[in-house]
Amino acid sequence: MNSTALSAAKSRLRASMKQRLASLTQDVIASQSAKVFESLSKFKPYIDAKNVGVYLSMPGGEIQTESIVRHAIASGKQVFVPYLHKSGLPSGEGPVRLMDMVSLKDVRDYETLKRDKWGIPSIDAATVNERKRSVGELDGERSEDISLDLILMPGVAFDVDSETGDIRRLGHGKGFYDYFLHRYALGIAAAQKPLDSRPAVLLYALALKEQLLSPDAEESVPVGSHDQPIDGVFLGDGQIKESAKKGSD
């Protein structure tokens, strides 16, 4: 599939999923979010993790992460959350904006985050230099790279590749996570020589059960060479789907 066809296929699936998820009530989303939290809280890699990256959720249409953030902080974990900023790259040499993961100081810090135009709690740019970073370069300044043990990611749709058993993820179309993971791999994880060219950090998504495409459905998640496979996905019905390679470890 060429790049034009791939982009069109992704756009169609995003539009289809947006319509499907729009019918879900807040009560349904809250119930599924609670089941994801219950599964995650018993998940050994999460229990053992010291540094956890987690997305901060929109008010609707996806698994809510507030209880996860609060639990992780209360459990003594260092929580890292997305921070979007201008890349500073010359035009045509990369994305205009980059995503990095920066640390929360404590629960009070989380509670004081202001919501952006999408209703997502967001890091104040004025505080970034006071925070730890998972990729040390930010706005041209270097700091210590902090290695993450687990990243909990959002997504629009997911499925299981019938040939490889990989969990495939369709993002929101900005490429923030794929480019972040590429930079992360070149930095910390590349030095650790991960298998299968995957970052050494565990990559799990959180999804409403409606976001997992059935093997019998006509739809599937279209992927290109730059799309990052993930290790698994926590679903709103309590299931944890893991990639075939991960499941065979």
CA distance 30 to 46: 21
**237: nearest Cα among 16, 39, 46, 67:** 39
CA distance 208 to 212: 8
pTM of the model: 0.89
Find out whether 109 and 116 touch, Cβ atoms under 8 Å.
Answer: no
What domains appear along the chain, each with residue ranges and CATH number?
A: 3-247 (3.40.50.10420)
In this predicted structure, the answer to whether residue 226 has a pLDDT above a threshold of 90 is no
Q: Alpha carbon 96 to chain centroid distance?
A: 20
DSSP 86: E
CA distance 33 to 40: 10
Residues 114-173 have pLDDT tens digits of 999 999 999 999 999 889 988 755 555 555 678 899 999 999 999 999 889 999 999 998
